């Protein structure tokens, strides 16, 4: 019963006034960001990272704040899906299918509260899954040497495009671009400068926080400018909510659905290259196939609301497993969370569990607490968040841009970093127009150095023999999975994609 | 067409990157792999993927009209000016202008845009500087 004892320690860490306050703040901001179309979990967390640093927060409090935002955004996405038929973030896309018809039938309140409960069930079960699965994964990861780690990184990149990837060449391009950006700066092994072109600012390398905020947050501002989308999507919609509690009978019929889809979503979250959007998609499709005997899905069936919400929240929890246990994130938002850990000089991966158990278990305990807070916030107080939808983006987007600038300036105090961030913003806009995913770029800048170091360590240990990379059964296995993960989307990708993205646009590039 | 151009730019980028990698000075104390190998692998990957993009382009993306592009260009110029002026004009003043410009270009009326700018600037200043103690750029008047 190690786990329960560790969890108890975690609660002792999480239950301080400061941490509770941060969790509450994170849940609140996260729900708002999730609800607002245009801000999703990954850019929401990205904007808040600099805030966490400038507050001088330690590792555990920063992570508590930011993962609360992450969980909160997963809850918040459903609000505009149900009320406006516009997904607040990508994982909430499937919730539109039955949520909006329910709202049109006058059942908006029921849909919101039911999806709140479903989100809670999904996230709650996934947090237990995280507790049970992560330590097992750590045991395997402890067997990894440099060669296996190199293979693992390659696997992460090759599967990142995901089953629903539009174009594997573009995913590969994005990964290579990110890795290339990571090589800028002084080489950590030999001390020679690389790709700095004599610019002193570049000797330290590019700060990946600058890259993240530019790519995710500023590019969003450009997208809004391009479409001159200054109004609020809620304008002109009647947002009557009605009763705020789902009838017990509705909860009862949805319970098996929620349990099944939580499990499925969790698995989707753990697997590399899947993430929350796919989690909610397969949850919805499976439930439709399984229980939709009268053809009511798509016309406002409560089970069609519960399934994707439980699925995407469970996937959000599942995605934390590889990030914490292996140090290799499988989705956009967990990549951003990894950036937080790296900036705080904490290396995620198997050693995290032995060296910084307080961080891991404090975080997990905070996730439980945040989940209850979110349930409380999202059912009785949902009316508050629907007001947020009325803020027009011509006011919101300048604030987003300015907070990004303040955050980056607060970390480094240099105008040079701001210019680099603008550069990344423009690059992010162009790449999104060309449908190149941004998450591999981020992951490349984050993991590039670690990947190169492992490669060089492995080859150096074996006296310059490159064959060592595929020497052990473990690394061969990892390479095999990586290859399958890369090739599979080429075969089945088109089919999944067509079903999943009826409206694939720029948003697909930062999908989670 | 866009993807063909994009792919060709990518290939050129890969070549430039590879050439820059070849000029990296080797230290006399090097490991077995050296500082060049990994960038060269990346350059190959970048080149191959760009070539594939150029040879098998996706459907044309929806590019905005010239006016909209100018809009984005204008915003970039304002942001660059903002970054450069920040240490000179101070945070509050620079931010009022930048935020008001963005709000105006997103469709606010001039008065509303100015109010958004002032609100954003003063709001961020009070929350981040006065409340949280973050050091922001100081202008000639100390704010």
Mean pLDDT of A123-147: 90
Distances (CA, A) of A296 to A21, A288, A302: 42, 9, 9
pLDDT-above-70 percentage for chain A: 92
Question: Which pLDDT score is estimated for B65?
Answer: 81
Q: Which of A60-74, A288-302, A354-368, A431-445 has the lowest mean pLDDT?
A: A288-302
On the question of pLDDT at B6 being above 80, the answer is: yes
Confidence bin at A274 (pLDDT 50/70/90): low
Unique residue bearing structure tokens 């995901």: A162
Nearest to B106 among A190, A195, A393 (CB): A393
Which 3-state string (H, E, C) describes B66-105? HHHHHHHHHHHHHHHHHHHHHHHHCHHHHHHHHHHHHHHH
Domain coordinates of chain B in residue numbers?
A: 2-55, 66-131
Taking the CA atoms of residue A168, residue A173, residue A178 and residue A181 in that order, the dihedral angle to the nearest 10 degrees is: 170
B88 pLDDT higher than 70: yes
Mean pLDDT, rounded, for A458-462: 87
Neighboring chain A residues of B87 at a CB cutoff of 8 Å: 415
The per-residue pLDDT for A193 is 83
Nearest CA in chain B to A433: B61
Q: Which of A328, A377, A364 is nearest to A348 (CA)?
A: A328
Within 8 A of A398 by CB-CB distance, chain B residues are 98-100, 102-103, 106, 116-117, 120
Choose among A55, A225, A464: nearest Cβ to B105: A225
CB contact under 8 A, A410 and B134: yes
Name which of A227, A394, A463 is nearest B32 (Cβ-Cβ). Answer: A463
A165: left (phi over 0), alpha (psi -120 to 50) or beta: beta
The minimal CB distance from B103 to the residues A177, A398, A405 is found for A398
In angstroms, the separation between the Cα of residue B142 and the nearest Cα of chain A is 16
Question: Which residues of chain A are within 8 Å of residue B100 when distances are taken between CB atoms?
Answer: 398
CA A292 to chain centre: 30
Query: Could you tell me which chain A residue has the CA closest to the CA of B109?
Result: A394
A500 has pLDDT over 50: yes
Please name the residues in contact with A411: beta carbons below 8 A apart, sequence gap of 6 or more: A50, A53, A54, A207, A209, A417
pLDDT tens, residue by residue, A147-188: 988 998 888 888 876 655 667 888 889 999 999 999 998 887
Instruction: Please provide the average confidence, as pLDDT, over all residues in chain A.
Output: 84
Q: Which residue of B has its CA nearest to A182?
A: B39
CB contact under 8 A, A192 and B80: no
């Amino acid at each position: 019963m190690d786990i329960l004892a560790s969890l108890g320690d975690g609660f002792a860490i999480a239950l301080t006034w400061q941490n509770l306050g941060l969790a509450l703040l994170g849940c609140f901001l996260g729900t708002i960001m999730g609800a607002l179309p245009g801000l999703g979990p990954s850019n929401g967390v990205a904007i808040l990272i600099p805030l966490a640093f400038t507050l001088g927060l330690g590792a555990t409090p920063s992570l508590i704040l930011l993962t609360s935002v992450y969980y909160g955004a997963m809850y918040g996405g459903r609000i505009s899906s149900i009320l406006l038929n516009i997904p607040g973030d990508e994982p909430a896309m499937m919730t539109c299918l039955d949520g909006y018809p329910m709202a049109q039938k006058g059942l908006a309140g029921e849909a919101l509260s039911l999806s709140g409960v479903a989100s809670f069930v999904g996230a709650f079960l996934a947090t237990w899954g995280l507790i049970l699965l992560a330590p097992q994964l750590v045991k395997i990861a402890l067997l990894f040497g440099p060669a296996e780690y190199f293979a693992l990184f390659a696997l992460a990149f090759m599967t990142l495009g995901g089953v629903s990837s539009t174009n594997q060449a573009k995913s590969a391009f994005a990964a290579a671009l990110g890795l290339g950006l990571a090589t800028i700066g002084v080489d950590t092994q030999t001390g020679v400068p690389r790709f700095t072109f004599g610019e002193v600012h570049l000797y330290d390398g590019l700060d990946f926080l600058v890259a993240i905020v530019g790519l995710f947050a500023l590019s969003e501002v450009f997208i809004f400018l391009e479409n001159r989308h200054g109004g609020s999507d809620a304008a002109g919609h009647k947002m009557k909510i009605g009763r705020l509690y789902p009838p017990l009978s509705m909860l009862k019929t949805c319970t098996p659905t929620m349990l099944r889809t939580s499990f499925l979503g969790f698995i989707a979250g753990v697997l590399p290259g899947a993430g929350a959007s796919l989690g909610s998609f397969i949850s919805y499709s499976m439930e439709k196939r399984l229980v939709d005997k009268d053809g009511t899905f798509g016309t406002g069936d409560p089970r069609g609301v519960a399934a994707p919400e439980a699925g995407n929240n469970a996937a959000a929890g599942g995605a934390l497993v590889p990030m914490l246990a292996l140090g290799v994130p499988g989705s956009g938002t967990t990549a951003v969370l990894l950036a937080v850990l790296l900036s705080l000089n904490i290396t995620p991966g198997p050693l995290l569990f032995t060296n910084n158990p307080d961080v891991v278990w404090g975080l997990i305990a905070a996730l439980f607490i945040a989940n209850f807070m979110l349930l409380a916030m999202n059912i009785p107080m949902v009316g508050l968040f629907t007001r947020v939808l009325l803020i027009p983006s011509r006011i919101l987007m300048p604030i987003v841009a300015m907070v990004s600038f303040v955050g980056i300036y607060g970390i480094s105090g240099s105008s040079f970093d701001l210019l680099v961030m603008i550069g990344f913003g423009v690059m992010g806009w162009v790449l999104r127009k060309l449908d190149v995913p941004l998450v591999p770029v981020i992951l490349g800048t984050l993991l590039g150095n670690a990947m190169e170091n492992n490669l060089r360590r492995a080859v150096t240990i074996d006296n310059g023999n490159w064959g060592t990379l595929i020497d052990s059964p473990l690394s061969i296995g990892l390479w095999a999975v990586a290859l399958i993960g890369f090739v599979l989307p080429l075969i089945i990708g088109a089919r999944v994609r067509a079903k999943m993205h009826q409206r694939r646009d720029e948003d697909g590039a930062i999908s989670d | 067409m866009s993807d063909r151009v994009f792919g060709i730019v990518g290939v050129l980028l890969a070549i430039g990157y590879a050439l820059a990698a070849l000029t990296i000075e080797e230290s006399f104390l090097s490991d077995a792999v050296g500082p060049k190998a990994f960038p060269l692998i990346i350059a190959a990957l970048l080149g191959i993927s760009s070539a594939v993009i150029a040879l098998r382009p996706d459907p044309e993306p929806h590019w905005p009209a010239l006016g909209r592009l100018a809009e984005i260009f204008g915003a970039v110029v304002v942001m660059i000016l903002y970054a450069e002026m920040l240490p000179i004009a101070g945070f509050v003043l620079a931010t009022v202008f930048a935020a008001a410009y963005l709000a105006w270009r997103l469709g606010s009326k001039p008065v509303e845009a100015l109010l958004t700018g002032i609100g954003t600037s003063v709001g961020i200043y009070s929350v981040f500087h006065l409340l949280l103690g973050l050091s922001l750029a100081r202008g000639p008047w100390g704010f």
